[in-house]
Amino acid sequence: MLTSIVIKNYALIDHLDVSFTDGFTVITGETGAGKSILLGGLSLVLGKRADLSSLRVKEQKCIVESEFEIGKYKLQPFFNENDLDYESSTIIRREILPSGKSRAFVNDSPVTLAVLSQLGDRLIDVHSQHQTLQLADNDFQLKVIDALANNGERLADYNEKLINYRVTSSALEQLLDFQQNATKEHDYNSFLLKELEEASLTLGMQEELEAQYDLLNNSETIMELLSKGHQILNDEQMGALGTLTELKQVVSRLASFGSTYEALHDRVKSVFIEMDDISAELGLLQDKVTINPQLLEEVNTKLQLLYDLQKKHKVQDIGALLSIKEELETTVGKVENIEVDITEKENELAILRQELEAMSNILRSKRKSVIPELKQELEETLATLGMPNASFKIELSPADTFKRNGKDDLSFLFSANKGTAFGELKKVASGGELSRIMLTIKSILAKYEQLPTMMFDEIDTGVSGEISNRMGDIMADMSNSMQIFSITHLPQVASKGDHHFKVYKEDHENITNTKMKPLSQEERVVELAEMLGGKALSDSAIAHAKQLLN
């Protein structure tokens, strides 16, 4: 429910601050007084595009701020989805800067125009003679039928199932695409995987093979060097061990001449022991060295395979080859198991399709059951609105695909006169007829679901007094369950309002301002009388105005 609006520096409005309550509010004023300006300002907080030319004073920013009571609208999920602070009394502010930039805020949180527009659609439904295209939309027509059929929960369950169906269908398409593309490469990927598997790759194997290759490739040189070292130590004439043996004997004799020589003896003895141990080690290593051309060839072959694989896959080490091997195992495994996965998805999709078919059939059955009631109510109400021969032909048939609101094709045809063919609403109904049809449909909807605030903008233009009186009754009746605004030129409609505001112009210092004020009972009598007979108030106009109000 709209509870207030403040407009600053917009078109002919310098500063406007108005509060509203629930029920039926009528807004009147002379042509050109600025009723459309009021709607234009309101449209800014509903997410419509801003126009820099709408600034009253170009050097100052324009501000439009509205407060809404939204406790009944179940908008908490919307606020959560858009990361907005939820307040039952929500304030929306829109600013247009002199630079042309526009800013929007919901409860002081900045929002995009897209979010503001989505929220605005949930708060106010502005309806005029030029905004009746919605009538020709099958989704809207089905919404009316579903409201009568109480299909709300069924549609919610259906939509949840439809989401699962579409997700599963998409997953199946991806599997089929993968199968089609992967099969072409499957043989090559299998060959690459087999190559890597036969290489028996392990971390560190390359380093081990390279070390083994170095030993085998240089075995003769190693053996020669070990032999020469052993010979240096053990040569009978010039061997180091023989020389150390003689030195040990010399210092052994010196050891008896004091501690200094005894320490020297110990050092020589230690060197002799170390050299003797080295000699033994050289002999052992020499015995272990083998010259094995066959083993050298095997190691070289293994290394060359590793180098070739690394070059082929454009990597530098065994770890990278192992990673590629894992990826190939996954890819090859998917292709080999894809038939099983596809069969599972197809079965899952078949079950969901059956469930959706059953849910669609129930929706269709419920819809068909209320179509006669809707047709009768539409035709009876329109008869009271000056369309006694209005007739509808509403038919449902199964569609080929699952849609967002079921699996139905809807034919919603209209004829305004006897003997004329039925046709689509937008093609055979005039603007005035469309307005009355929309008013009738919205009044029916209001009985079955919580609608947002509704603002009717001069939809009664061009209709007679008696018809406008009935239109006023319908709007007044709707206001029992929702907030209704009507911008009108007709006193018959204006008299039905619980609250009456007047939009007027006021000149001050050669500057025109659009203003708006609530009317007292006495002021309403004068306003209605002027709407009936002009500025020159007559006794009959005053009497007629009082009669309308009573």
Structure-token pair, residue 219: 């075995």
d(CA 515, CA 502): 8
- Could you report the per-residue pLDDT of 142-192, keeping only the tens digit for each? 999 999 999 999 999 999 999 999 999 999 999 888 887 776 677 788 888
Torsion of Cα atoms, 38 then 44 then 48 then 52, to 10°: 90
pLDDT of amino acid 537? 81
pLDDT of amino acid 129? 62
The answer to whether the beta carbons of residues 397 and 176 sit under 8 Å apart is no
Terminal Cα distance for the chain, rounded: 27
Beta strands per DSSP E along 372-467: 391-403, 406-415, 423-424, 453-457
Domain map of the chain by residue range?
Answer: 1-129+451-519
The answer to whether the beta carbons of residues 440 and 474 sit under 8 Å apart is yes
- Could you report the per-residue pLDDT of 375-390, keeping only the tens digit for each? 999 999 999 998 999 9
Environment class of residue 438 by beta-carbon count within 10 Å: exposed (0-12), middle (13-18) or buried (19+)?
buried
Question: pLDDT band for position 8 (50/70/90)?
Answer: very high
The strand pairing partners of 518, in sequence order, are: 501
d(CA 194, CA 188): 10
Cα–Cα nearest to 491, from 516, 505, 509, 471 = 471
- What global pTM score does this model have? 0.68
Compute the chain's Rg from CA coordinates.
Answer: 47
- Could you report the per-residue pLDDT of 478-514, keeping only the tens digit for each? 999 899 999 998 999 999 999 999 999 888 878 888 9
- Could you report the per-residue pLDDT of 205-261, keeping only the tens digit for each? 888 888 888 878 888 888 888 888 877 888 766 778 778 887 888 888 888 788 888
The answer to whether the beta carbons of residues 371 and 396 sit under 8 Å apart is yes
pLDDT of amino acid 407? 94
The answer to whether the beta carbons of residues 391 and 415 sit under 8 Å apart is yes
pLDDT of amino acid 237? 67
**Domain range 1-129+451-519, its CATH number among 1.10.510.10, 3.40.50.2300, 3.40.50.300, 1.10.8.60:** 3.40.50.300
Kindly write down the DSSP assignment for every residue of 72-119, as one continuous string.
TS--HHHHHHTT----SEEEEEEEE-TTS-EEEEETTEE--HHHHHHH
Average pLDDT, the chain: 88
| 32 phi/psi in degrees, rounded to 5 | 90, 0
- What is the mean predicted confidence (pLDDT) over 283-296? 81
- Could you report the per-residue pLDDT of 520-546, keeping only the tens digit for each? 999 999 999 999 888 778 889 899 999
